[in-house]
Amino acid sequence: MMLVDEREIPGITPVEWREYRYVSDDGNDHFVGEGLFIAVTNKIEPSIPKSGGAITENCKLWLPSGELLHALSYKGDIEGWRKQIEQGAKELGLFTGKIVGSEIILSDNRHYELANCKIEFY
């Protein structure tokens, strides 16, 4: 288990009832409130998921390339939320990532070891 400041990196431990994704930053580093989280989760209309919801995980992840991603998770209609997030990000010109084992795998097929990334909770 990988911990940062006593907290587990979102998505490092898979669970059946919740899924985690990372969304690339749009250059403004403003994810919460009326920021990028709302833009990504509300971009696709009508909304794809039929139940559940999405939340921010209050975690930033910097790739070795210097690119910033923000963590979020969702539950309920997991497949619907996955499509909502991934399609919303794509329409906004952003990429997504998911944790698999000790790596983050990005939607553009790049992958990085988590040990080489910087993680910050807020």
Name the pLDDT band for 18 (thresholds 50, 70, 90): very high
Residues 6+ apart with CB under 8 A from 90: 107
More confident residue, 33 or 39: 39
The stretch 83-100 carries a mean pLDDT of: 98
User: Cα(100)–Cα(63) distance, rounded to whole angstroms?
Assistant: 15
Query: H or E element: which one contains 88?
Result: helix 78-91
Domain limits for position 41: 18-121
Residue 88 counted as domain residue? yes
Residue 9 counted as domain residue? no
List the structure tokens of 62.
Answer: 């910097």
Residue 50 counted as domain residue? yes
Residue 74 counted as domain residue? yes
- Tokens 């539950």 — which residue? 75
Greatest Cα pair distance, the chain, in angstroms, is: 39
The pLDDT, as a whole number, for residue 98 is 98
Rounded to two decimals, what is the model's pTM?
Answer: 0.93
The pLDDT, as a whole number, for residue 3 is 59
Number of structural domains the chain divides into: 1
CATH number at residue 55: 3.30.70
